[in-house]
Amino acid sequence: MALAIFDLDKTLIGGDSDFLWGEFMSEIGAVDSDTYQVKNQYFFDQYALGKLDINEYLEFCLAPLSQYPLATLNEWHQQFMRSKIDSILLPKAQAVVDAHRDKGDTLLVITATNRFVTAPIVAKYGIDHLLATEAEMKDGQYTGKVAGEPCFQSGKIGHLNQWLAKTGESIKGASFYSDSHNDLPMLELVDYPVVVNADEQLTQIATDKGWPSLDWH
């Protein structure tokens, strides 16, 4: 038994949940469509290039959560799941998750996207453990700020180390599945790195390092 760790966006699902949430919020009129979609695309492109300013991005994407009651956001998220997420869940990803579960492995998703957006998606795969960027809440309302360190790039390792210390789990023998070169610190940390639906840069890195490369689409 070991840890089986998964990235979420473009790994377990065939798209980026944070980007799609921004599109959804634009479509329902919860944000100004014209300006928000332009910025949403800009940050998405910066991430792909490995140039994302995570703090600038989180200031942008968490702000709308502070403008509406939690009950409204939860109702919208159910619509979001139906309209944007259900169609990009990947059966091949589910099969790998199930295979690890059958071996008795501990399943964990670690993602830069905030917990509000990601938790219901992770639950769809039957995965109990999630490490994500945490959106600050006060008196049952999101503030638009980040709570703690963003779970991004090397920040994922910080979140993971805290979780390991809390749970007593071991990184020994762990596997990590990811699509993005932004996750290189995590891929280099584990004993069994696996690239999935990889971007061009990570595909080349995987080839150079002899890492297995999978396509779950």
What is the residue extent of each domain of the chain? 3-14+89-214, 17-87
Q: Which of 7, 18, 179, 183 is catalytic?
A: 7
> For residues 186 and 176, is the Cβ–Cβ distance under 8 A?
yes
Predicted pLDDT at 145: 97
Could you confirm whether 179 is annotated as catalytic? no
Q: Specify the pLDDT at position 37.
A: 92
E-state strands within the chain: 3-6, 106-114, 129-138, 141-147, 175-178, 192-196, 213-214
What's the CATH superfamily of 3-14+89-214? HAD superfamily/HAD-like (3.40.50.1000)
| pLDDT: which is higher, 33 or 120 | 120
Which pLDDT score is estimated for 70? 97
DSSP class of residue 81 equals I
Instruction: For residue 34, indicate whether it is catalytic.
Output: no
In terms of CATH, what superfamily is 17-87?
SG protein - dephosphorylation function (1.20.1440.100)
Write out pLDDT tens, residues 143-180. Answer: 999 999 999 999 999 999 999 999 999 999 999 999 99
Q: What is the pLDDT of residue 208?
A: 96
Contact indicator for 114, 133 with CB cutoff of 8 Å:
yes
Enter the tokens of residue 74: 């939860």
CB atoms within 10 A of CB 150: 20
For residues 146 and 66, what is the distance between their CA atoms, to the nearest angstrom? Answer: 11
Out of 9, 16, 18, 179, the active site residue is: 9
